[in-house]
Amino acid sequence: MKFNQFQKLLTGAIERVGEAPASLAPVAPDTLPPLVLAYIGDAWFSLYVRTQLLSYEWRQVRVLHTLDATVISATMQAYALRLLEPILKSEELEIVRRGRNAKSRTPKSASVQDYHSSTGFESLLGYLFLKQEQERLEELAAAAFSVIAQEITAKMQQGGKK
């Protein structure tokens, strides 16, 4: 996308944000691009992880941030997705596939494969959140958090940093 086009879209979005709607219209997640679903899923999972971490540490923000960054990393999300895929429904696997195949820029902090897998995972969480499937969302997030925590613990016991 060219910068001028980006600026025009941004300006239009800012103007619409200023127009408060009378009520929030429900969003149909089936119609949203996978990267938009991932955007929502990323925010939701980050908040979920942060609230879970309060059970273990609530005095030191630096410790919380370090743990949070490790748990929500693309590498750990990709790891969790690999373990959770067998329990995903066909509709959920399709959302993951769409998210995994979405064209996006890959940060240097993760492999391309891990980053795309984590985008698929986040797309699924965003989809479930917007469909208001809270029970399934919580079930998958709790399972992901559990396997990630176990992996981090195992790595620390083996002498690794994360």
Q: Name the class of domain 26-157.
A: mainly alpha
Cα(140)–Cα(71) distance, integer angstroms: 14
Q: What is the DSSP string of 15-74?
A: HHHHS--SSPPPP-GGGS-HHHHHHHHHHHHHHHHHHHHTTT--S-HHHHHHHHHHHTSH
Cα(138)–Cα(151) distance, integer angstroms: 20
| pLDDT score at 24 | 58
pTM: 0.84
| pLDDT score at 96 | 97
Give the domain ranges of the chain. Answer: 26-157
Residues marked as catalytic: 42
**102-128 confidence digits (pLDDT tens):** 887 767 777 888 899 999 999 999 999
Q: What is the DSSP string of 4-30?
A: HHHHHHHHHHHHHHHS--SSPPPP-GG
Is pLDDT larger for residue 46 or for residue 27? 46
| pLDDT score at 150 | 94
Cα(152)–Cα(67) distance, integer angstroms: 10
Cα(161)–Cα(9) distance, integer angstroms: 42
Residue 162's pLDDT band, with cuts at 50, 70 and 90, is: very low
Is pLDDT larger for residue 93 or for residue 66? 93
User: What mean pLDDT do residues 5-32 have?
Assistant: 76
Residue 21's pLDDT band, with cuts at 50, 70 and 90, is: low
